[in-house]
Amino acid sequence: MNVPVTPKNQKAFSKWLNTRTAPFFLAAALFLCTVLTVLTLTLSCTPEYGCNLKKPVADAAEYGFRSEQTTFAAAYPVTEETAFTAAYSIAEQSAHIADDAERDGLSVDFIIRIDGTEAARKKYRLNPKVTDYMHRLSLSRPSQVFDTLLTLELSPGDAVTFLLPEAKADIEALLLAREHPVIDAEMFFDASKIPCFTYVDGSDGARFDRDKIYKAIAAAVDRPQSVIIIRSEKIRAVKVGELKRKTAKISLFSTNYTASADARKSNIALAASFINGTVVPPGGEFSFNAVVGKRTAERGFRDAPIILDGKFTEGVGGGVCQVSTTVYNAGLLAGLNAMSVARHTLPVRYVPPSFDAMVSSATDLKMRNDSDDNIYITARADGSSLTVTMYGKRPEFEIRTRSVTLKTTPHETEYVLNPELLSDESVIAKGADGLESEGYIEYLKNGEIISVKKIRRDVYAPQKRIVEVKELPPPE
């Protein structure tokens, strides 16, 4: 709690001092009364001292009491009452007499060094009230007044202001001239550019522990000359190198769509554009349907082949599953955790079995970022290949995927009669064997496999080969 030094606070402090010191003055008065009475009775009429108070007066002068003040006691008969009055007067007035002398010249020379360099040489006068309080509280050093003020819940800075009224402003000016905030390096992610990251350098900051500094100054006021050593506390900024380590390329996966029709290529490019620039925060989840949105003609998606009920047919957004599949494989290589993924009913040609990811209005691809840093995603389609790249902090292990085909189911061939066909036959659908497969993730370190994890098992139906012919072949 910082309590500024105000006239009101000083009045309260003086009242507190008077309350605390009253018993002291009473005891001191009684003691001096007894001493004066004994001295008067035993020494006033001896050949050595004569019948007067010259010796007690001289002794009092050696302790800093002015002789004209001590004559107060000699001007009256030495009774118990007058002795008490004289003793109290001496004790009460001596502090003010001493203050008169100290106010004229009590000061402290400071040499202030900050971070090894001399910053200033200053002479500061002690607040006259400090010596007054020292006498009244029986304190031997000004620093003890500082400690007392701290017990009254004044801040170290305000307590120093009381001791040395001119010091705090000077010290603050010296500190502020050397104090500056930390500026962390910055990173900017723009997926439309190559490279997609730019960085701006930062700078370290510096600050000072003011309470520690003011306590050192208060301790130094007990000496006529002191060297104050001040060291700044360095605040380390985030460096560009740290940001680069958190934005390293951690995975890249590409699929080819060169042979696709224009409508399918358009859908792939459109879906990729929605994904490009996505940032998945720590603990966050990537949802393909949430990022890409509904595949409708109003949003620019076109009719292209899709797999529906185990057959290829035309549908809005055909080709989008190649985008979700590419994202899925890049995510696995980046260490993302697949929370929801579905296979196609038929095998696809652009990835190995058990590594496809079918999406629809009812089926989503969801992957969670379990790392402590952001994952940044770029997705670029150039008309022949789709590439998804993920950036972040490199995983502890290198990650590799592996597909294992357990068995195959041969596909059938269906012939469709077309007498108007110019050639003997035309392949409408190439067909594909059915598959039973498993997908694995392998974790490697220094080129050696550390562990293997099976992530899924899938069954794909065979895909018929469809051929148009002028004449149907004879039944087998």
Any idea which residue has 């409708």 for tokens?
296
The CA distances from residue 94 to 28, 52, 56, 64, 68, in Å, are 13, 22, 15, 7, 12
User: Sign (positive/negative) of CA torsion 26, 32, 35, 40?
Assistant: negative
Distance CA 226, CA 386 (A): 73
Query: Which pLDDT belongs to residue 471?
Result: 82
**Residue 276: which residues within 8 A CB-CB, separation 6 or more?**
191, 192, 377, 378, 379, 380
Per residue in 216-264, pLDDT (tens digit) is 999 988 888 889 999 999 999 999 999 999 999 999 999 999 999 999 9
Is the peptide bond preceding residue 195 cis, with omega within 30 degrees of 0?
Answer: yes
Structural tokens at position 469? 């012919």
Distance CA 242, CA 245 (A): 5
Percent of the chain with pLDDT over 90: 59
Amino acid making up residue 402: R
Question: 60: Cβ–Cβ under 8 A, 6 or more apart, which residues?
Answer: 67, 70, 90
Helices (H), 221-261: 240-245
3-state secondary structure (DSSP) of residue 169: helix
Given a cut of 70, the residues of the chain with pLDDT beneath it are 1-105, 309-311, 476
At 12 the pLDDT is 54
- Side-chain-side CA neighbours of residue 160 (13 Å): 24
The token pair that represents 443 in the structure block: 């974790």
Cα–Cα distance between 18 and 95 in angstroms, integer? 14
CA dist., res. 318 & res. 313, Å (int) = 9
What is the rounded CA–CA span in Å between residue 269 and residue 301?
10
**Distance between CA atoms of 104 and 108, rounded to whole angstroms?**
13
Residues 87, 57: Cα–Cα separation, whole Å: 12
pLDDT at residue 10, rounded to an integer: 54
Q: Which of 125, 113, 126, 223 is nearest to 175 (CA)?
A: 113
- Stated as kind and residue range, the H or E segment containing 189 is strand 186-189
Burial class (CB in 10 A: 0-12, 13-18, 19+), 300: middle
Alpha-carbon distance of 291 to 296, in angstroms, equals 14
Per-residue pLDDT at 2: 47
Structure tokens at 391: 């950036």
Q: Where are the beta strands (DSSP E) in 329-447?
A: 337-340, 366-368, 375-381, 385-392, 398-409, 413-417, 425-429, 434-445
Q: Check residue 44 and give its pLDDT.
A: 38
**pLDDT score recorded for residue 136:** 87
